[in-house]
């Protein structure tokens, strides 16, 4: 700056000298002089000095910006800590991937592959470094990074594709997936998140954590993980004959349940590394996963592996198949026919693909249509008429399954039990129902339920009046007002017999045990017609497992539902569904942390309110269950559990 001032003083002196030396002639007639040349040089020096000033100013601004960056960066880092996608577990380091605010760790082994000598046996859990190395060696372990690449789903367990009976999946399937809110994995210490372990499955025969048409929409979506603010875990476990049909030689029963126990122990031991709270684990089951979750809650082997229970539409009737009966049944099924070309060992099927074909689509479809989703026959009402294997899934071994403990959780367990209004909507039985009118429907009920029972026509008419009411929490113009929809009436009737009334009895028994907090919900709903499980069964009513799909927001990724939504172009409908999902997510946020739902009415001995969920609202209509179950209590002489799905 001093140099600039000196230059300015020199410039003033030069200007003074030029003024004194001007020629007296007219300006237009002047000629250049030496003085003019001196002025030109002076101006060039002043211009250079200005450029230098600009350069110094820019350098100063850059220096200030750099200093400010280093001063502010640590503060910014503290408010938005970096998310980790690398976690250290008991077996070693696992590498996940972040997307949409969720860090996913996919395909983590929780037991050795159940192949060869381990087939038909309980899972070998990864309890030592040697077993860890054995499980990781054949998977995604990278020697370069010394970590396990958990960025892709693993195959679901070996099974048949519905309808086509194509063999899909893999025996090497005992893997789980962990979905973590990004903020739970930061470099700073944060609050441990609750954990939701999701058990799904269809009829103990189909499903898995990912990758199959039958299991579309079964993964938690980012919005659900965000709203619940909890870690979600999904898992594969052995299903079908490899998981629930005891081999006549090994004689180890309920293998699929032992897989689930192994996964729950993995969660207890490892979830803390993911930012999860191992002391706040909620077991969330729907489909056949609900029945499995109920069995684990009633078993001493499941004690202290989870803290809360949320299940939807389980088979609540006591298991009754003994070990001896199971051995005789499985030996008959496993036996090779004389002259069979299929691989056999000691006269028994040996090829896993042949074994899974024992429960083919013809058997499963017949079971669903004739037993699960149909009106009970008089023989069933009297406690008889059951199929030889599909009604005997869980085996009484007095270790995992003990009928004396059924309906009695081993320890204090806050529980939510729920269902949808049309659990049996996947298959309408009889198949002629869509062509019936209201009078034909009434005559069918009278002919079916009054013959050989104490039921009179007046009871049928009273039930019809009760079941005709389709809105409770909202205005009658809501989307649940069907008019006379014979499919809705028939599936609602069968749902009451098979699920609503037996579940209400179970809820009362659980509420009387250990002083547990028990909540009962009933979800109404109508949606776009789609095929949820690739059964070629298109439904628009709230079917079996729909509430699980609403909670997870699986409809947002289900390809058939998306196509249906695009065809209808109904954004209002998706907004209604979103509110329904928000409601279940918000409730789970509270329940997974406290075991309570303050906005819902709990069940108490002698008082069993139902929290009815309708169009994103919750209400508690008086005597909702009593009115719907009066008919079925009379049919069963006061024991609706006789009509429940068997486990």
CATH of the domain at 533: 3.40.50.1820
Q: How far apart are CA 258 and CA 243, in angstroms?
A: 9
Residue 106, SS3? strand
In total, how many domains does the chain have?
Answer: 2
Answer yes or no: is 173 within a domain.
Answer: no
- C-beta of residue 182 within 8 angstroms of C-beta of residue 83: yes
236 part of a folded domain = no
Q: How far is 334 from 396, CA to CA, in rounded Å? A: 20
Predicted local confidence at residue 78, as pLDDT:
46
Query: What per-residue confidence (pLDDT) applies to 137?
Result: 78
Mean pLDDT of 327-348: 81
- pLDDT at site 112: 96
What pLDDT score was predicted for residue 15?
Answer: 44
Of 187 and 611, the structure prediction assigns the larger pLDDT to 611
Distance (Å, whole) CA 89 – CA 121: 26
In-domain check, residue 452 = yes
Question: Is pLDDT of 41 > 80?
Answer: no
Closest by CA to 96, choosing from 127, 157, 140, 132, is 140
What whole-number distance in Å separates Cα of residue 33 and Cα of residue 496?
115
Q: How far apart are CA 299 and CA 284, in angstroms?
A: 16
Least confident of 52-56, 60-64, 493-497: 52-56
| pLDDT interval class at 38 (50, 70, 90) | very low
Cα 207 to Cα 195: distance, rounded to the nearest angstrom: 22
Domain limits for position 62: 1-15+39-80
Q: Is pLDDT above 90 for 568?
A: no
For residue 424, being part of any structural domain is answered with yes
Contacts of 58 by beta carbon, 8 Å cutoff, 6+ apart: none
Yes or no: say if 257 and 270 are a contact pair by the CB < 8 Å rule. Answer: no
All residues at 6 or more sequence positions from 207 whose CB lies less than 8 Å from its CB, including other chains = 156, 159, 200, 201, 214, 215, 218, 239, 287, 288
251: left (phi over 0), alpha (psi -120 to 50) or beta: left
Q: Looking at residue 478, what is its pLDDT?
A: 44
Looking at residue 622, the DSSP 8-state letter turns out to be T
Task: Quote the percentage of the chain above a pLDDT of 70.
Answer: 80
Q: State the pLDDT confidence band at 71, using cuts at 50, 70 and 90.
A: low
CA contacts within 13 A on the Cβ side of 297: 32
pLDDT at position 22 is 37
Per mean pLDDT, which of 20-29, 55-64, 440-449, 596-605 is the most reliable? Answer: 596-605
- The verdict on residue 201 lying in a domain is no
The pLDDT score that the predictor gives to residue 9 is 46
- Of 530, 310, 335, nearest to 419 by C-alpha is 310
119 falls within a domain: no
The continuous run of DSSP H or E covering 270 comes out as helix 255-270
What pLDDT was estimated at residue 142? 59
End-to-end, the C-alpha distance of the chain in Å comes to: 92
CA–CA dist 198, 283 (Å, integer): 6
> How many other CB atoms sit within 10 Å of the CB of residue 513?
16
pLDDT of 583 reads 96
Distance between alpha carbon 595 and the CA centroid of its chain, in Å? 19
Task: Report pLDDT digits (tens) over 504-552.
Answer: 999 988 888 766 799 999 999 888 888 889 888 899 999 999 999 999 9
Whether pLDDT at 126 is above 80 = yes
On whether the CB atoms of residues 470 and 480 are closer than 8 A, the answer is yes
pLDDT of 562 reads: 78
- Least confident interval from 86-100, 143-157, 189-203: 143-157
With residues binned 3-state (H G I as helix, E B as strand, rest as coil), the percentages for the chain, rounded to 5, are 45, 15, 40
| Residue 53: predicted pLDDT | 72
**Alpha-helix runs per DSSP H in 142-228:** 222-228
Q: Half-sphere exposure of residue 335, counting CA atoms within 13 Å on the CB side?
A: 8
Q: How far is CA 356 from CA 169, 208, 292, 390, in A?
A: 11, 15, 20, 14
Tell me the C-alpha distance between 231 and 178, whole Å: 7
pTM, entire model: 0.84
Radius of gyration of the chain (CA): 35
In the prediction, which pLDDT does 477 show? 41
Instruction: Give the mean pLDDT of 548-561.
Output: 90
Residue (of 258, 207, 204) closest to 234 by Cα position: 207
Nearest to 305 by CA among 268, 357, 334: 268
- Cα–Cα distances (Å) from 103 to 153, 208, 225, 283, 609, in that order, read 14, 20, 10, 21, 39
- Identify the H or E element spanning 175: strand 175-181
Please report the pLDDT score of residue 103 as a whole number: 96
Q: Which of 643, 83, 101, 85 is nearest to 372 (CA)?
A: 643
CA 180 to chain centre: 13
CA distance 305 to 282: 9
282 within 8 A of 293, measured Cβ to Cβ: no
96: in domain: no
Please tell me the distance from the alpha carbon of residue 224 to that of residue 459, in angstroms, as a whole number.
Answer: 44
Angle formed by the axes of helices 571-594 and 559-568, nearest 10°: 140
- 71 vs 338, higher pLDDT: 338
- Picking from 246, 399, 221, the residue whose alpha carbon sits closest to that of residue 327 is 246
ω into 430 cis (within 30 of 0): yes
Strand 518-523 versus strand 321-322 pairing type: unpaired
Nearby residues of 316 by Cβ (< 8 Å), 6 or more positions away: 294, 502, 503, 505, 506, 641, 644, 645, 647
Q: Is residue 168 part of a domain?
A: no
With a cut of 70, say whether residue 482 has pLDDT above it. Answer: no
Q: Is the Cβ–Cβ distance between 107 and 177 less than 8 Å?
A: yes
Looking at residue 416, what is its pLDDT? 97
CB contact at 8 A, 417 and 535: no
When mean pLDDT is compared across 107-116, 159-168, 530-539, the lowest value belongs to 530-539
Confidence at residue 26, expressed as pLDDT on a 0 to 100 scale:
40
Contacts of 22 (CB under 8 A, 6+ apart): none
The answer to whether residue 637 scores a pLDDT higher than 90 is no
When pLDDT is averaged across residues 37-59 and rounded to a whole number, the result is 60
Let me know how long the chain is: 647
Give me the pLDDT at residue 339, please: 66
Provide, rounded to the nearest whole percent, the portion of the chain with pLDDT above 90. Answer: 51
Report the alpha-carbon distance of residue 235 to residue 118 in Å, rounded.
19
Instruction: For residue range 300-335, list pLDDT tens digits in order.
Output: 999 889 999 999 999 999 998 999 999 998 898 888
The SS3 call for residue 232 is strand
CA separation for the pair 193, 228 (Å, rounded)? 10
Which of 425, 420, 414 is closest to 613 using CA atoms?
Answer: 420
* Rounded Cα distance, 165 and 561, in Å: 23
Alpha helices in 21-114 (DSSP H): 34-79
Tell me, what's the pLDDT at 84?
76
Per the prediction, the chain carries an average pLDDT of 83
pLDDT at 49 over 50: yes
Residues 491, 368: Cα–Cα separation, whole Å: 13
Over residues 91-101, the pLDDT tens digits come to 999 999 999 99
């Amino acid at each position: 700056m001093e140099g600039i001032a000196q230059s300015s003083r020199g410039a003033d002196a030069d200007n003074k000298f030029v003024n004194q030396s001007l020629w007296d002639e007219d300006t237009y007639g002047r000629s250049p002089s030496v003085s003019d040349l001196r002025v030109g040089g002076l101006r060039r020096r002043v211009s250079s000095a200005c450029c230098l000033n600009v350069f110094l100013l820019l350098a100063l601004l850059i220096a200030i910006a750099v200093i400010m960056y280093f001063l502010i960066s640590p503060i910014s880092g503290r408010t938005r800590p970096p998310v980790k996608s690398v976690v250290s577990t008991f077996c070693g380091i696992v590498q996940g991937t972040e997307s949409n605010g969720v860090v996913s760790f996919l395909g983590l082994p929780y037991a050795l592959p159940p192949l060869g000598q381990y087939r038909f046996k309980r899972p070998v859990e990864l309890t030592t470094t040697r077993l860890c190395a054995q499980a990781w060696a054949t998977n995604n372990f990278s020697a370069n990074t010394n970590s396990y690449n958990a960025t892709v789903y693993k195959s679901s367990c070996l099974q048949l594709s519905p309808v086509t009976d194509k063999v899909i999946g893999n025996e090497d399937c005992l893997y789980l997936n962990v979905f973590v809110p990004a903020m739970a994995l930061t470099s700073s210490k944060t609050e441990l998140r609750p954990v939701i372990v999701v058990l799904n499955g269809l009829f103990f025969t189909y499903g898995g954590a990912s990758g199959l048409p039958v299991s579309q929409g079964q993964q938690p979506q980012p919005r659900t993980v965000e709203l619940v603010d909890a870690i979600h875990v999904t898992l594969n476990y052995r299903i079908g004959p490899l998981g629930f049909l005891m081999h006549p030689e090994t004689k180890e029963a309920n293998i699929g349940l032992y897989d689930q126990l192994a996964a729950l122990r993995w969660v207890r031991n490892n979830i803390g590394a993911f930012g999860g709270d191992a002391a706040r684990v909620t077991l969330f089951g729907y489909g056949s996963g609900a029945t499995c979750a109920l069995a684990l809650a009633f078993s001493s082997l499941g004690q202290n592996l989870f803290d809360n229970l949320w299940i939807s539409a389980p088979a609540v009737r006591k298991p009754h198949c003994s070990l001896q009966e199971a051995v005789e049944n499985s030996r008959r099924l496993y036996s090779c026919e004389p002259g069979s070309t299929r691989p056999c060992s000691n006269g028994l099927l040996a090829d896993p693909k042949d074994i899974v074909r024992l429960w083919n689509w013809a058997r499963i479809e017949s079971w669903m249509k004739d037993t699960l989703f149909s009106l009970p026959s008089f023989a069933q009402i009297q406690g008889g008429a059951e199929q030889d294997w599909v009604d005997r899934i869980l085996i009484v071994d007095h270790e995992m399954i003990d009928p004396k403990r059924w309906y009695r959780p081993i320890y204090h367990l806050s529980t939510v039990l729920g269902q949808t209004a049309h659990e049996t909507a996947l298959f309408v039985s009889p198949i002629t129902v869509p062509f019936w009118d209201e009078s034909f429907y009434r005559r069918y009920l009278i002919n079916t339920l009054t013959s050989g029972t104490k039921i009179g026509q007046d009871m049928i008419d009273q039930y019809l009046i009760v079941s005709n009411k389709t809105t409770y929490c909202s205005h009658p113009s809501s989307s649940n007002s069907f008019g006379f929809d014979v499919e809705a009436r028939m599936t609602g009737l069968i749902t009451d017999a098979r699920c609503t009334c037996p579940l209400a009895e179970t809820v009362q028994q659980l509420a009387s045990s250990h002083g547990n907090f028990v909540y009962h919900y009933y979800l109404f709903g109508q949606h776009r017609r789609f095929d949820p499980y690739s059964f070629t069964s298109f439904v628009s009513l709230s079917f079996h497992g729909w509430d699980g799909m609403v909670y997870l927001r699986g409809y947002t990724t289900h390809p058939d539902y998306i196509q249906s939504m695009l065809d209808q172009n109904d954004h209002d409908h998706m907004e209604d569904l979103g509110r329904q999902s928000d409601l279940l997510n918000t409730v789970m946020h509270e329940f997974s942390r406290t075991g309570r739902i303050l906005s819902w009415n709990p069940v108490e001995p002698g008082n069993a309110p139902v929290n009815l969920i309708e169009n994103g609202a919750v209400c508690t209509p008086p005597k909702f269950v009593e009115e719907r179950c009066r008919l079925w209590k009379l049919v069963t002489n006061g024991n609706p559990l006789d009509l429940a799905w068997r486990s």
